Amino acid sequence: GDFQIMINNNPLWYGRNKISLALQLGYCNYCCWALNSMATLSYCSLPSLYMLKGIPLFPKVSSMWFLPFGYIIIAKYTYSLLEFLCSGGTILEWWNEQRMWLYKRTSSYLFAFIDTVL
């Protein structure tokens, strides 16, 4: 549904004089959720394949190159948790929300993307 809106004959960016740029960007983010399933699927499957082959995907923890990877992961989840806690949620609810997003991205969004492409 949403991805079809993005690629139909009258896509969202045709209405640039009718709605603000911020609203267009918000709609684009919402309409691209189906595309996000491909990135999440590769994020879930590639590390497993690399581990089976014995190929290091990330730098060693003792390496200085590990710092950017570690910082991004810790900062992303810390910000997400703090935002969730400030809106009245609990840590357990946040953890369940993280898991549900993974399930939705690798199942329903993927099927929606395939349905749109076919």
Query: What is the residue extent of each domain of the chain?
Result: 32-117
Take residue 103 and report the two structure tokens written for it.
Answer: 């399930």
Q: How much of the chain exceeds pLDDT 90, in percent?
A: 32
Average per-residue pLDDT for the chain:
83
36-71 CB burial, b ≥16 within 10 A, e <16: bbeebbeeeeeeeeeeeeeeeeeeeeeeeeeeeeee
Quickly list H helices, the chain.
2-7, 21-31, 33-53, 66-86, 91-106, 108-117
Q: Are 6 and 33 in contact (CB under 8 A)?
A: no
From CA 38, how far away is CA 44, in angstroms rounded? 10
**Which pLDDT tens digit goes with each residue over 68-98?**
989 999 999 999 999 999 999 999 999 999 9
* pLDDT top residue among 43 and 62: 62
Q: What is the pTM of this model?
A: 0.63
pLDDT given for residue 97 in this prediction = 92
Is the pLDDT assigned to residue 5 strictly greater than 70? no
The pLDDT, as a whole number, for residue 90 is 96
- Report phi then psi at 22, rounded to 5: -60, -40
Q: In the prediction, which pLDDT does 81 show?
A: 97
